[in-house]
Amino acid sequence: MQTTVNNTEQVYKYEEKISPKERRVAWLSRIVLWIFVAIVIFPMFAIVSASLTEGTGFATTNLLPKSVTFDNYINVIKDTDFLVWVKNSLILCISVSVIQVAITMPAAFAFSKLRFFMRSKGLMSLLILQMFPTTMALPAILTVCINLRDFIPVNGTDNIFVIILLLCGGSAYNIWLMKGYMDGIPQELTEAAYVDGATTMQVFIKIILPLMRNMILVIFLFSFINAYSEFIFSSALLKNPEVQTVATGMRSFIKDKFSANWTQYSAAAVMASVPVVLLFMGLQKFIATGLTAGSVKG
């Protein structure tokens, strides 16, 4: 299915001679790459360095801390609601990812492997839906959530489950992506199973899902990362300090309070980023293919 990401690297056993010109080009490229690397690393370095600096503000003009301290990390955990934000974000992100996978896989299976009435119309509406971000419907969602108590005994605001449900509505893109992948599973596989007397459910669970293992991971990770940085609904609907997420909590922690909170903020930023970066790096191989396959069909 995938022809664009062919591995064309070949391992030559013999040492290739590099001409002087090629060597010059390589060194020039290296120097430019070093500049790139410096631009990418510097901001992260500055944050890590600030997080290890004594004191609270940015009053220091040193890029390197004079003495290393982990006080900021300890203070963030002890004195702020950081752990509450992390807990809320984890509840939000894990729920959204699990529900997204649970919604997406069966729907993609139906579109890819079952023939049904209005199938192509349904696919077309998925395509149209995925280009309208739900955040554009903010006026409507705000009105409904603020007045939700008038209709059902559930709080529309300050309720993390409302955010979870709102984020689960955006599955059109994922369904489209997964459908493309399932199309790559040969029809013979499923037909052979039907001949052996398997039910549709068995085909879905025993054949399709195991083959889609990597892509399930990708959907899970994408949904997780998106929910982790979700800001619009969270900040509009979650006002209470107990229901803040990492994104909204950290913003209120730093907004207009630089001089007071910078070093602690940096410590929180490091703690909030490192696990996500590691997760991303670990699954990078799948992510790269997952992304290109969405829009490029080889």
Partner 1 sequence: MKAVKQKTETGKALRYLAPAMITIIIFTILPIAYTVWMAFTNKTLFIQSDQVEMVGFANFIEVIRGPFKEVFFPVFGWTIIFAIISTLGSFFVGLFAAMLLNNPNIKERGVYKAILIIPWALPVAVAILSWQGLLNGSYGAINNLLFNIGIISDPIPWLTDATWARIALCFVNIWLGFPYMMNICLGALAAIPETYYEAADVDGASALTKFVKITLPSIAQTAYPLIISSFAFNFNNFGSAYLITSGGPARPNTQYAGFTDILASVNYKLSTVNGKYNIAAAISILIFILLAFISYYQMKLSGQFEEVD
Binders of partner 1 in range 12-51 (CB under 8 A): 18, 22-23, 25-26, 29-30, 32-33, 36-37, 39-44, 46-47, 50
Task: Report yes or no: 220 and 101 within 8 Å, Cβ to Cβ.
Answer: yes
- From the list 130, 21, 73, the residue with the least C-alpha distance to 269 is 73
- The residue from 95, 97, 171, 244 that contacts partner 1 (CB under 8 A) is 171
Cβ density class 16-36: b for 16+ within 10 Å, e for less = eeeeeeeeeeeeeeeeeeeee
The pair of structure tokens assigned to 177 is 């992506």
In angstroms, rounded to a whole number, what is the distance separating the alpha carbons of residues 25 and 27? 5
Instruction: Tell me: does residue 187 bind partner 1 (CB under 8 A).
Output: no
Instruction: Tell me: does residue 285 bind partner 1 (CB under 8 A).
Output: no
Least Å distance between CB 69 and partner 1? 18
Instruction: Tell me: does residue 87 bind partner 1 (CB under 8 A).
Output: no
In angstroms, rounded to a whole number, what is the distance separating the alpha carbons of residues 101 and 112? 16
Task: Report yes or no: 47 and 269 within 8 Å, Cβ to Cβ.
Answer: yes
Q: Which of residues 91-120 bind partner 1 (CB under 8 A)?
A: 102-104, 106-107, 109-111, 114-117, 119-120
- The residue from 229, 241, 242, 285 that contacts partner 1 (CB under 8 A) is 229
Q: Which of residues 52-81 bind partner 1 (CB under 8 A)?
A: 57-59, 61, 63
- The residue from 91, 94, 185, 254 that contacts partner 1 (CB under 8 A) is 254
- The residue from 53, 160, 266, 290 that contacts partner 1 (CB under 8 A) is 266
Least Å distance between CB 262 and partner 1? 6
Of 7-15, 64-72, 74-82, 212-220, the window that binds partner 1 (rule: CB under 8 A) is: 7-15
Task: Report yes or no: 206 and 189 within 8 Å, Cβ to Cβ.
Answer: no
Instruction: Tell me: does residue 231 bind partner 1 (CB under 8 A).
Output: yes
Of 65-73, 74-82, 161-169, 209-217, the window that binds partner 1 (rule: CB under 8 A) is: 161-169
Task: Report yes or no: 226 and 92 within 8 Å, Cβ to Cβ.
Answer: no
Cβ distance to partner 1 smaller for residue 80 or 171: 171
Alpha helices in 52-81 (DSSP H): 71-79
- The residue from 1, 83, 192, 288 that contacts partner 1 (CB under 8 A) is 288
Task: Report yes or no: 104 and 174 within 8 Å, Cβ to Cβ.
Answer: yes
118: left (phi over 0), alpha (psi -120 to 50) or beta: left
In angstroms, rounded to a whole number, what is the distance separating the alpha carbons of residues 82 and 253? 10
Cβ distance to partner 1 smaller for residue 74 or 137: 137
Instruction: Tell me: does residue 86 bind partner 1 (CB under 8 A).
Output: no
